[in-house]
Amino acid sequence: MEPLISRIDHVSIAVRDYEKAERFFRTVLGVIPGAVAEDPVMKYVWQIFSLGDMSRLELMKATGKGSFLENFLAERGGGVHHITLQTPDIKRARNVLEQNGIPYFGYNGYTDAYWKELFIHPRDAFGVLIQIAEFHAPDWLSDEVNLPPGKRWEIDRTNDGIRLNLAHPGGGRMRLEFTQDDVKNLIADLDKNL
């Protein structure tokens, strides 16, 4: 059976000074911006940023009085707000929580939704707000970090061998460096196993 949780998708950080935070993460740490959206009902903006091969974070800021981030920012001034875990099946995740007596809230499991989610309150998850979500990760990332649609790998020549870029099911790409000897050994292993 497929695991309930595929991976940690991102860590979400709530900030007061969004421009300063974005500048820090982009200029100092070199993050690559991805999807961004504003939610006028919950009064906040979020943006996904990619780091390295497959790590991500999300920056969130309140956009007005009554934002769902208001209390968090007033009490803490900002910081890690929640972690998002990717699941291949939100209904199964919900059932597992129910079978284990773990309360959840904010369930969104519409059949036509491109993002399905639920949350576990920090009091039920050892002090951490957990978002469990079902989605297609590449949809939320910059084209700069994804391989083109339908491509599962790309190969680039290096001075000493090749760089193999693999499309990761969680979005983004994984890069592996191979020397010429590594490539020969890989080909031999593939031939033995085909």
pLDDT tens per residue across span 159-175: 999 999 999 888 889 99
Confidence at residue 74, expressed as pLDDT on a 0 to 100 scale: 95
Q: 111-148 as b/e, with b when 16 or more CB fall inside 10 Å?
A: eeeeebbbbbeeebeeeebbbbbbbebbebbbeebbbe
pLDDT higher than threshold 80 for residue 54: no
Which pTM was predicted? 0.86
pLDDT higher than threshold 90 for residue 109: no
- Domain 7-140: top CATH class: alpha beta
Per DSSP, the three-state class of 96 is helix
pLDDT higher than threshold 90 for residue 140: no
Confidence at residue 50, expressed as pLDDT on a 0 to 100 scale: 93
Distance CA 160, CA 173 (A): 21
Confidence at residue 108, expressed as pLDDT on a 0 to 100 scale: 84
The DSSP-derived string for 135-187 is E-GGGGS-TTTSPPTT--EEEEE-SSEEEEEEE-TTSSEEEEEEEHHHHHHHH
Confidence at residue 2, expressed as pLDDT on a 0 to 100 scale: 86
Judge whether 9 and 133 are in contact, CB under 8 Å. Answer: yes
Task: Measure the CA dihedral 89/141/31/74, to 10°.
Answer: -60
